Structure 1
Amino acid sequence: MSVQSLVAVVDDDEDVRLSLEMLVDSAGHAAVLFESADALLARDDLSGFDCFISDVQMPGTDGIQLARRLRAAGWAPVILITAFASEDVERRALEAGASRFLAKPFDPDALYDELHSLLG
């Protein structure tokens, strides 16, 4: 039996977190939910995560700052999502090291495909 990949889901909207958890689960992976980037970064060890999915616009540390910090530390791939998509935000997200940028509302298959591509 294969070991599930562990995905950190970061969004300040509880409904979005729960929806993302269901998508991650349906893709065959396990999700751990965080209400903010700061809550995620407060963990002592992030090495157990195989992927991070984060909203861009959140109070405190935003998703772009989070992606920059995670990638600089050499952590797992980051998928950024936002309801406030623009070419500038997408450019900044990708420059920060995001593996993928998805605009809300996004096709669940796009996230499923990206998880499959990154995690198998």
Structure 2
Amino acid sequence: MRASARELIAVVDDDPGILRSLSSLLRSAGFRVATFGSAEAFLASADRGEAQCLILDLEMDGMGGLALLAQLGKPLTIPTVVLTARQNEELRTRALDAGAHAFLLKPPVAAVLFDTIAEAITRATP
């Protein structure tokens, strides 16, 4: 998948290594990327309103991913892909019930991540 230059993907994760690797991977596919080391930083950012998709970790210091989803409200105004290291059916169910489009495990398979982002953006486009 090749993204158009207008598509901004926001990545929220408290692991700097994950932020760097996801940013590089997404840029290689043509996306613009904004990274945030916390849910609070994402909420305070002007990029929040411009992002076409949010990639979100669930377990972070401070506000976690599920709390961020609750803060964003339902229905979510930004298509969200949860990306977590924990394979847990309860977390998956809670994230999807909170409005997440998809629940993927770290490390993501690039093609699956790109397809999931494309599907999330397409579903959200009127």
Taking structure 1 as the reference length, the TM-score comes to 0.88
2:22 to 14, 20, 23: 20
Take 2:77 and 2:11, find their aligned partners in 1: how far apart are those partners? 15
**Structure 2: 5+ residue stretches without partners:** none
* Structure 2 partner of 1:79: 81
8 Å CA contact 2:76, 2:99 repeated in 1: no
* Structure 2 partner of 1:57: 59
**Structure 1: 5+ residue stretches without partners:** none
Q: CA RMSD in A?
A: 1.8
Take 1:74 and 1:83, find their aligned partners in 2: how far apart are those partners? 23
How many residues get paired? 119
1:107 to 103, 106, 109: 109
CA 1:28/1:95 → structure 2, altered by over 3 Å: closer, same or farther? same
CA 1:73/1:46 → structure 2, altered by over 3 Å: closer, same or farther? farther
8 Å CA contact 1:83, 1:105 repeated in 2: yes
Take 2:41 and 2:53, find their aligned partners in 1: how far apart are those partners? 16
Amino acid across the alignment from 1:4: R
**Greater than 6 Å deviation, 4+ residue runs:** none
1:43 deviates by: 2.3
8 Å CA contact 1:6, 1:51 repeated in 2: yes
Amino acid across the alignment from 2:32: A
CA 1:3/1:105 → structure 2, altered by over 3 Å: closer, same or farther? closer
Take 1:61 and 1:49, find their aligned partners in 2: how far apart are those partners? 20
* Structure 2 partner of 1:47: 49
Take 2:109 and 2:53, find their aligned partners in 1: how far apart are those partners? 19
1:116 deviates by: 2.2
8 Å CA contact 1:46, 1:75 repeated in 2: no
SS in 1 for 2:54: strand
Take 2:42 and 2:31, find their aligned partners in 1: how far apart are those partners? 18
